[in-house]
Each structure stands twice: as structure tokens, then as C-alpha cells.
Structure 1
Amino acid sequence: MTKSNKVKAEEDGQQTTYTLDMPNKDLVFQSQTNTIEPFTGKSTQNAQQWISHATNVLQIQGFNDTHELTNLLSGFLDGEALNWFQDNKATLTEWKELYTALTQRFPSPPSFTNTFEYFQQLSNRRQGLDEPTADYYAHVLKLCNKYTPLMSDAERVDHLKKGLRPSLLEKVLDRDPVNPAQFIAVVLKAESNQRILQVQVETGPTSNNNNITTFTSDRPQQVSNFHNQRSYEEPQQPRQQRWSDHQQQQQQHKQNGSYGGRTCYTCGKKGHILPACHLNWA
């Protein structure tokens, strides 16, 4: 059926034209288009299913021109979807362009099973010990989009924080990023600082260890030599001094005698007694 209200059919190779009066045409069109629900762009609607159904209904009515289909389909848009179309209608003149742009702007919500699966993956996602932060970041955002394309930036950042390595999470909490772009900037900076510190740890202590090893290997010998020197040198002076003192004491003993001022009764001299007097041995 065309706008001239004529229906063309081919019977036995001959083309026959049937003309419908306006009231009948309107009734048929209205009954069919009543099955087309206005599309608002809400997350509960499936853009792909909606445009496919609406296109099929209009094509049954004989509207096959792509430009004409686009104009008719736009009449069923409402709310956010209509505002979006008004802003972009200059580039949406053909049905294929409308179909592609509409399904991309309002992606179809996943099924309940997939939604629960994506939620579980997000809840359990943890960054590996050797996993690059950029890979972790990209995968978490991909899961967020699959779970719900309308997820807010704050929710995405929360999911990113949840599985981040603890050593990096501390830096993120200090900076408190509010969107994924700020999050990845903070984390990459912290990761770079950690690598620099790791290099310093690996290279710096090596020379220090060598110094410590040299010191500890030399010190026992020095300590040993020190003790040996003390044990060899220090006693020499005391021994000589003691021997000299002993000789002096013996000499004094000989001079004074061991009996002090006692007098010998044999010779009358002091310093010894009778049994030791030389006169007894003369």
C-alpha cells in the first residue's frame, strides 16, 4: 500500500491494482501501529527489539523506503530518545543509520542470567600480583558495561577499588578519585613510583652489603690481633717490673735481714739471730 491508497498485486503474471478507501486504510494502519510501543530509551526497553518490531509493522503497511521509514520511526520516539534524535537527526536520514545509532546509544539490557553472572564476576574480580594495572582497569570497566551501561562513575570507581592490589589501593584512598579517568591516573603514578623504589632497593643495598661484608671480615682479625697484642705486650712490663721489685726486695732483705732489728747474741750485730750467725759456722 502506498500513500495513494493503492495496493498492487500480481496475479497470473498480470498486475492488478486495488484501491482502498481512506477509512479502511486508516483502520488497518492504526490497528497495526498500536502494537508499536513508544520508545523512551529507558533501561527496561530493548532498542534492538523495538526498532525491529516497528520496522516490520511499517513494512507490512508498504513503507519500504529507508528515508520514509526513518521519518515514521522517529514519530514513535519519546522522552530521552526523542531528545537524542532531535540533536542528531541531521545525520540520521536513512533507516540503517538510525538503527545503528539508536542501538548503540541505547544498548539492550542483558538478560537476568547474564546480569547476575556479570555481577558475580565484578564482585570476585581481583588484580593479580603480576597483572598490569592497565589490563585490570580495562577488564573491570568492560564488566561494568556488561552489567549495566548506565552505571555511574562513582560505582565504576568502587568496583575498580574493590579488586585493586592493597599496595596500590592505599594510594588511591589517599587521592580519592571521583571517576575512572582520575582513578587510572592515580594508580599508574603510584605504580611508577613503586617501580622506581624497587630499583633503588635492588641496586642500593648491594654496595652496602659489600661494605658490611668487608667490615665484618676485617673486624675479627683486628680484634684478634688486638687481643693477641695485649696478651703479648702488656704482660712484659708487669713481669719485668715485678722481677725488678723482687730483686730489690731480696737485696733489701739481705741487707736488712728477715728479722728486722733483732740482735744476734753471738756477734752482737743486728739483722739475724744466733742460729744464722756466721760465727757459729766458723
Structure 2
Amino acid sequence: MVTSRAHYIHLFEQEAHRLADIDFNYSYWLEVDINSIVYRPVFLSTMEEQFMNTLAKEQIRTLVKFSGADDEDVVKWLCDVDAVFDRAQLQISNKYIAVQSYLIGTAEKWFRHNKSTISDWSTFKLEIIKAYQPSLNQMLLKMKQRRQLPHESVLEYYVDKRQLCSQADPSMSSAMVIHHLTKGLKSTLIPHVIRRRPITPSDFLVMAQEEEKIQLTLNGLSYDTKHPQNIDLNDDNSDDTISMLKRPIHPSSHASNYQPRTTPPPQPLMNSKFVYDRSAHLPPRYGSPNSLTSFTSRQCYECHRFGHIAKYCPNRKNFERGI
């Protein structure tokens, strides 16, 4: 049987009408909860999986509990809790069950009283924020009073102050954010940041960190200047023209009744003339107070005698003549 082109077109139209009459039931797909789909990471080894599980347990164990006190920030606490639960790969239903263990004090009493109207994690977050979020005036006052602490870095102060600005006014302009950031900055950084005129909060952070590093460097240099290294000013080896030997000389037993003579402090050579003392180069007389010398004495390398150096040797001329 030969099938013509018109017959093929007729068969195609019949099949199209048949498929168009099929009715699909979409109620099943609408009942599927997309929140039940959890994407878990693929671990390369069992040890890696055990390490991640141990890390998640440690973070959950050290999570701060919320009591509803006036000095606690419920928004920040919720962000921390949600981040830890996400790292622990908890499902939405398990987050709602786990967070109940981190409520203490008045917050725990509040949850027990309103548990009948709080059925899931999303509702819990909305209701606890409504119950414990401070008023607008309190948030504005806290934002204005937030200042950079003496030993606090610019980055830590910036992150905290930006969060307070967002809580007080989510639509706050960049100019107002920079105004509040600058007002709470350290007094030593404010003039330098204002002079550079930041346009965005990100520019403020970069400029403030640069000025902070410069001041830390300057403080380190000033500390080195105030605390110089100890320099030995009595080092006789610094002069290459003077060669000497230092040998210990024990005092004579006959001079045990005498005290060693104290020598006056040396005078600057530029302000006084050297006076040659011939008696200093003569052998000491035993039994006199001046016979005691220090435990270290200078020796001349020309005549090999003690008590003077080669520059002031009385026999230097004889050695120069070859006698």
C-alpha cells in the first residue's frame, strides 16, 4: 500500500490531538517540600568525614546560649546560631529542635509559653526577634555609643559598627554610615581619614586600615629610639692605633692595709690638654698606697712594660733610632 504525503499529515494531526487530551495531575508536585532536599558534600575519605563531624560537634557544643538579657543582641545571636547549624549540615526541621537547647532564663520561659504558635524554624526566628529586638531609640543609642576600643583593630570595629547601622536603619545612606563610622573611630585616626575623604564605607575601611598600619609603624620606631641598645663605651679595642695587653695583676700582700686609690672620671680630650706624668711610668714603690693598681693594667708593645701604652712610651725615641 502506497502512503501519500496527505495521509502522513492526517496521521500526525490525529496523534497531536490524542496527546493534547491527556490531563496531568500537578497536585503531587505541589506537595513536595523543597526544604527537605539537602545537598551534602562529598568526602574524599572516611577520615575527612570524621574530622568534619568532630568539628561540627565542637562548634555546636561551644555555641553561646541566649537568655533574653538587655545586653544581648538577638539578631547577632540568631546569625551565629544559623551559621553554626549550616556548617553542621542540619536540616530545617532539626534546626528548630536543636535551638530549643540554647534557650535559658526568660527566653526559655517565653518559648514554652508561645510554643503552640511556633511550629517551625522560620516562625521561631520571626517571633523571637519581635520579642527581644530592642526599640529603635535603643538601637540608635547603641550605635552612637559604639566607639573603637584602645586595643581594638579597625576591622573589628568596622564590622560591628556596620551591623549596628544596619539594625538601626537598613536603608541608611553611605554618607551617614561613614559619618557614624568616623565619629566612633580613634581620635588619632580621625583627622587622617577625614583628609582622604572616603566616598563609600569600603573606602573608609581601606583608608582607616592604612592609617592604622602607619601609626603602628611609627610607634614601633619611637619605641626603638627611646630604648636604644646598650653600647660599651669602655671598649679599648675600638681604636686600631692602640695595641694593648690586659693581664691580671694581684696586689702585693704588703699593701693589704691600704685602700685602692679612686681615679677621677676621664675628662674630654677636646676640652683639656694632656699632661704627661713621668711618675706614672716609673716602677711602683712597695709599701706605699700608690703601689696598688687595678686588676687589669695596660702594657706597652714597644718596651713591654706596664703602666702606659706605646703612644706615650718614654723609650719610644730610642726604639725609633734603633738603640
TM-score range, shorter chain: 0.3 to 0.5
User: TM-score normalized by structure 2?
Assistant: 0.33
- Which structure: greater helix fraction? 1
Larger CA Rg, structure 1 vs 2: 1
User: TM-score normalized by structure 1?
Assistant: 0.37
